[in-house]
Structure 1
Amino acid sequence: MQEDLFGAPPAPPAPAPQPKPAPAAAPRPKAVQPAAHCDALRALAAQLPPTLRLGTSSWGYPGWDGLVWDGSYSEQTLSRHGLAAYSQHPLLRSVGIDRGFYRPLSASDFARYAAQVPQDFRFVVKAPSMVTDALVRSEDGRGREANPGFLNGELAAQHFTLPALEGLGARTGALVFQLSPLPWHLIERLPEVLERLRAMLAAQPPLTGAPDAVLAVEVRNGEWIAPEHAEHFADVLRSTGATYCLGMHARMPPLSEQLALLRRLWPGPLVCRWNLNPAHGAHGFEQAERLYAPYDRIHDPAPEDLALLARTLAGVCGRGGQNAFVSISNHAEGSAPLTAQRLAQQVVDRLVSDPGAAEPGA
């Protein structure tokens, strides 16, 4: 190449390197806001006994737009950020925490929940299956082998009662040992199982720092409350300061038959979990889920159950002055918040019409 006789002009300076723009921050989730609750709903809540705490079995349902939330939110957003808005619903002064059934929760897990709700709010918490299921189950729910931790008092205290009391503190409501369906060989030896249950309950720590807390036992076999076992069951609960959790579920006898055991424990608190409409049968959870989603209206009203439960709550919480915790599933009638509203109205009507009733189911 021929050289430039006059010299080449100096090369322009290289541009200074520009800093790369910082990656855009992930958008913060919109804060979940409560629905605009009407004056009539607030007036209804004000007429309920203060010892009655109605709630739902969980809170992460987008279909409650307009009932609990002010708009449309994803299930993930509601599960993580919806509890504070839920607790502002006038009727919902309690909520269930079921996720600990599958894996025990820590005290810090419970404390995060407690920090999001008012002082007079209470939680209904299920114990982990590691102590409430007689079988170790596969992913499809089938029992594989005997569970060595079933009704183990030390495991129950370490992985459930102590963390719940430490994390929830005064907001602890009902600590529910929901016993999964027993295999037949244990049903045939139910008196022995009842004594194991007594030992487990007796091994739980005092419910100090939680003035409304109560241990409750829910079952999934009608044999527990059959006449030949009911008095033994009641004695186990009385001797340990626990109570029976009314399980409104298709696997169990109707509410009217379960109340006989509650009367044996009277006076005392009431715990009820309304789980599944009997129209779908004992194994109808998935069917109810398909039919009822997105849980924004009543599909299958249960007027007889509603009326009897309302009458019972009026007796327990009215003149009886006892605490009651009622946890309602969407699978009860189709929409848990609407069932809670229907139940509240019937309790108020019952108190007005019969203020003297003081025994469960009277």
Structure 2
Amino acid sequence: MQDDLFGAPPAPAPQPPTEPKPHAKESAARVKGVQPAPADDALRTLAAQLPASLRLGTSSWSYPGWDGLVWDDSYSEQVLARKGLAAYAQHPLLRCVGIDRGFYRPLSASEFAQYAAQVPQDFRFVVKAPSLVTDALVRSQDGRGREANPGFLNGELAARHFTLPALEGLGARTGALVFQLSPLPWHQIERLPEVLERLRAMLAAQPPLAGAPDAVLAVEVRDGEWLAPEHAEHFADVLKSTGASYCLGLHARMPPLSEQLPLLRRLWPGPLVARWNLNPVHGARGYEEAERLYAPYNRIHDPAPEEIALLARTLAGVCARGGQNAFVTISNHAEGSAPLTARRLAEAVVAGLAGNGETAGDSPG
């Protein structure tokens, strides 16, 4: 105490050193958990107007800049990574979320179960498969391909290190299990029919999606050649024959959404999976630029109204009129703030349904 320094009796013996005190908000989070931002009536009304089979979400959840949008206050990224999911799942619009970390290291069933335990029964996960089976190359730390990956499109490895653990851990909360195939080396693009048959064998080797009524296998690609006229029919046949879906990839490496929808129509009827990864204004390798410009991800920087409008029309056709499930995850790199983009997309879906009286065509797009 301060008075002890000015002639008071000797101070008690010093206590053993203690750990530095955490930030007050982080300390509170350990006690009561991360708390959600209060939802206004307009947001709740908007969520209630969406088709029940449409699940919107973000690609992850540990962003401090979502203070006031998703969280009630400012928390560190570390606290949000550990404790933020339960609060995220209370947001009226966010009924699914992406788990991408398994791309770098396969996750165990117990790790998936820890995620599932934090969310309501109606919540779903969109999970990215490990690069162990989705990248044709073994890569160095800087992302450069070093050598051919012997596990690429290996069905047994995919089942053991991805599909089975995800189903066991997530159970009925399993949404889309996404095999996002990294850009192929040119020698494989030139032999794409052979790669497609390897993909067919890998998908066919996956176990039944038992205990997960909404679960779907989906394939996302990062080379436009997969959608070229000479390959699109073959690609659609591979997916349809194995019960898999095509994952719309809104990314600068891929053709625009309008040029991807024909493949989805070939698979109709069926569920829709979409991952809005990156605004095309930044180019195919623009993640770093988007991070620099958009952080802390609390406002819209580069609106993409055409993508919003077309995706909203597609979702209305798939969910409200077609009666199919849809899972859409949105990155902060799409427009600057994933929760705000989710709200813009939801508003466009609801406005479209109201304007058309739910009488438009029943196929995607």
Shared fold (TM-score, shorter chain, > 0.5): yes
Aligned to 1:135: 137
| 1:59-86 residue CA offsets vs partner (Å, 9 max, x unmatched) | 0000000000000000000011000000
1:21 deviates by 4.8
Secondary structure of the equivalent of 2:182? coil
Counterpart of 1:235, as a letter, is: D
RMSD after superposition: 1.3
| 1:83-125 residue CA offsets vs partner (Å, 9 max, x unmatched) | 0000000000000000000000000000000000000000000
Query: CA separation in 1, counterparts of 2:14 and 2:198?
Result: 66
Aligned to 1:329: 331
> Are residue 265 (structure 1) and residue 272 (structure 2) matched?
no
Aligned to 1:15: none
Aligned to 1:243: 245
Aligned 1:209-288 pairs, distance under 5 A: 209-288=211-290
Aligned to 1:116: 118
1:19 deviates by 9.8
CA contact (8 A) 2:264 2:364 kept: no
Aligned to 1:306: 308
Structure in which a larger fraction of residues adopt helix: 2
Aligned to 1:36: 38
Query: CA separation in 1, counterparts of 2:28 and 2:233?
Result: 53
Query: CA separation in 2, counterparts of 1:188 and 1:154?
Result: 26
Counterpart of 1:40, as a letter, is: A
CA contact (8 A) 1:313 1:360 kept: no
> Are residue 356 (structure 1) and residue 359 (structure 2) matched?
yes
Aligned 1:144-163 pairs, distance under 5 A: 144-163=146-165
Query: CA separation in 1, counterparts of 2:173 and 2:158?
Result: 20
1:357 deviates by 2.5
> Are residue 176 (structure 1) and residue 191 (structure 2) matched?
no
| 1:240-293 residue CA offsets vs partner (Å, 9 max, x unmatched) | 000000000000000000000000000000000000000000000100010000
Query: CA separation in 2, counterparts of 1:254 and 1:269?
Result: 20
110 and 19 in structure 1: CA distance in 2 versus 1, 3 angstrom threshold: farther
Query: CA separation in 2, counterparts of 1:199 and 1:41?
Result: 44
Q: Which runs of 5+ in 1 are unaligned?
A: 1-17
Aligned match of 2:109 in 71, 95, 107? 107
1:358 deviates by 4.1
Query: CA separation in 2, counterparts of 1:343 and 1:23?
Result: 52
Query: CA separation in 2, counterparts of 1:98 and 1:138?
Result: 19
- Percent identity of paired positions between Structure 1 and Structure 2: 82
Aligned match of 2:189 in 163, 184, 187? 187
Query: CA separation in 1, counterparts of 2:82 and 2:361?
Result: 40
| 1:197-241 residue CA offsets vs partner (Å, 9 max, x unmatched) | 000000000000000000000000000011100000000000000
Query: CA separation in 2, counterparts of 1:343 and 1:360?
Result: 19
Counterpart of 2:212, as a letter, is: A
CA contact (8 A) 1:175 1:213 kept: yes
Q: Which runs of 5+ in 2 are unaligned?
A: 1-11
CA contact (8 A) 1:53 1:326 kept: yes
Counterpart of 1:75, as a letter, is: E
Query: CA separation in 1, counterparts of 2:282 and 2:95?
Result: 28
CA contact (8 A) 1:312 1:359 kept: no
1:37 deviates by 0.8
Max radius of gyration: which structure? Answer: 1
323 and 20 in structure 1: CA distance in 2 versus 1, 3 angstrom threshold: same
1:29 deviates by 5.2
